[in-house]
Structure 1
């Protein structure tokens, strides 16, 4: 894409950030804009809608912003799937939007042989409060707000081998909004870099943070939460192709400890749907931030730290 040379464009595509940020004339506010849609990750149309919408809203909170409104994006095979089913998808999306505190004001649909759903979401943030996926500093502590494993779990669902307990847990995880986490992190004033863990997996998004910030990140694998049963599925190669591609892409930039075997590496690279937020938090204030997240009902954990070093380097041990 061509380089953007507009002083009002505060965040574009140069650092692979989660959303675009554009300054408003005559104001200290900026508009935050994101778009996301995908094919079904679960069978239930209502929960597909909930998950896809929650995933789109997540990018707004990952920028330290609050959502204003959303527009639906729909591709639907009108000759092969009933419109009542689409109605359930849209009902699910509307419920996620309600929980996000932002109305759905319209959208666009096309006849598509494969169903797709998502949203374009508009948010707002003070110019001096934008949080980006770059800016991490040596001494920062890394905080993660959700466990890993949704990509592997949804692959197990597609293959018909996921346990009922795993299906219930991963649907709950993917549909869960990052609102409480994003609001607590933004309010803390202690976050130097923030991103959500989605399609590139934890390793991919951590690498983007390290590269863009000019630092190295150390991840402590024993501290990283993973859904029950995911490691066993990874050992059986129940893994999406995107997760394998993630690992192949990022692995040359990762120094793995001897205890981090092949199955664990693929879990760390697993492509997530509406995963948690990964934050680089001021080291002296991280305990307070973790306490605030937990008070907000977010099961956040500390998973590593930021080091001085030549990017793009990740150390996983």
Structure 2
């Protein structure tokens, strides 16, 4: 057993990537999954893998559908308690992104037992439990393994009325796009690894990544909210492309309207970007048209992997004020309209 004290453990040193930046690149993932779509599915399965949605949804009866999802990753920060909080917040988000309410979770724990003190592992679990308590759900079990790298996450189950499921594929031309959280988590995590993130930047990163996307469960009740997803490892462009492809229409982003976490643009200009950002662009950049004046830094920001990122809402223009009011009542002051869905092929245009 490693005898280092808890304060000397740097969790990020044990992993080759962190947070949602650990995701398999979108192009590689598409190759892996391309031959897995031929199996029969029951009629009760309302949402499966066909549109790369946030969670599976299974109709139980006329009043209830079960939402099932899982998410886990390696450390994005060194503080074990905060790592647990971030991972749990990220996993629960997928239920909110379907318009549902979480009901319970199972813990997924893989730890290098010969390298991490039991006390550190305990703090990771404690952090996850604290977020589940905030969401009002128990951790009802789980599974543990002895792993080369620290891994933590959750299986999360939720409920939603079958008529209120909000898929990522039901956007309509003319819809406005609302983003719930500012971008930049990947940039801040890169700066943290390079020792260039100050206390204020770290605090902003923790605040964003541990804020539960609770507005999702209320958005499903609102008229005019047509599609819903959350922005995570594939960046804003990647997840908006999933919305666009599912609906079979285009999308447009106005770069000046996209909210960013404090200091993110400056840090990105100084080279604090993740390798996942470049992998994301390589995977789907062919379906993105960058307008004149969009810089390479802005490209990196739009592909920046968001660990526990914000909800992305496609709603009718008449619903925008109500959507923004909901976000602000729930404490999401940075929520903003960033663009619209448009007629045309399933591509994204970014204009300056």
Deviations 1:104-163 (A, max 9, x none): 111110001211100000011111110011111111111001000001111111121111
Q: 1:269 to 1:18 in 2, by over 3 A?
A: same
Instruction: Measure the CA separation in 2 of the matches of 1:316 and 1:269.
Output: 15
Query: What is aligned with 1:278?
Result: 312
Q: For residue 247 of structure 1, what is the aligned residue in structure 2?
A: 281
Normalised to the residue count of structure 1, the TM-score between the two structures is 0.96
Residue aligning to 1:16 = 52
Q: Is the 8 A contact 2:204 2:262 kept in 1?
A: no
2:183, 2:306 within 8 Å by CA — same for their partners in 1? yes
Distance 1:209 1:231 in 2: 26
How far, CA to CA, are the matches of 1:283 and 1:74 in structure 2?
43
1:167-178 equivalence runs, <5 A: 167-178=202-213
Structure 2 residue 90 is the aligned partner of structure 1 residue 55: yes
Could you say what the CA RMSD is over the residues aligned between the two structures, in angstroms? 1.2
Instruction: Give matches, 1:111-126, under 5 Å.
Output: 111-126=146-161
Alignment of 1:1-317 (within 5 A): 1-3=36-38, 4-24=40-60, 26-179=61-214, 181-299=215-333, 300-317=335-352
TM-score of the aligned structures, taking structure 2 as reference length: 0.87
Stretches of structure 2 that go unaligned for 5 or more consecutive residues are 1-35
How much has 1:258 moved relative to structure 2?
1.3
Tell me if structure 2 keeps the 8 A contact 1:39–1:114. Answer: yes
Secondary structure, aligned partner of 1:314: strand
Residues 215, 313 of structure 1: 8 Å contact kept: no
Q: Report the Cα offset of residue 313 of structure 1.
A: 3.6
TM-superposed deviation, 1:18: 0.2
Contact persistence 1:200–1:272 (CA under 8 A)? yes
Aligned residues: 315
- For residues 149-200 of structure 1, what are the alpha-carbon distances to aligned partners after superposition, in whole Å with 9 as ceiling and x for unaligned? 0011111111211111111110111011111x21332232321110000000
**How much does 1:314 deviate?**
3.0
Cα displacement (A) at 1:296: 2.5
Aligned equivalents of 1:125 and 1:64: distance in 2? 7
Structure 1 equivalent of residue 25 of structure 2: none
CA–CA separation in structure 2 for the residues paired with 1:208 and 1:287? 25
Where 2:220 maps in the other structure, the secondary structure is: helix
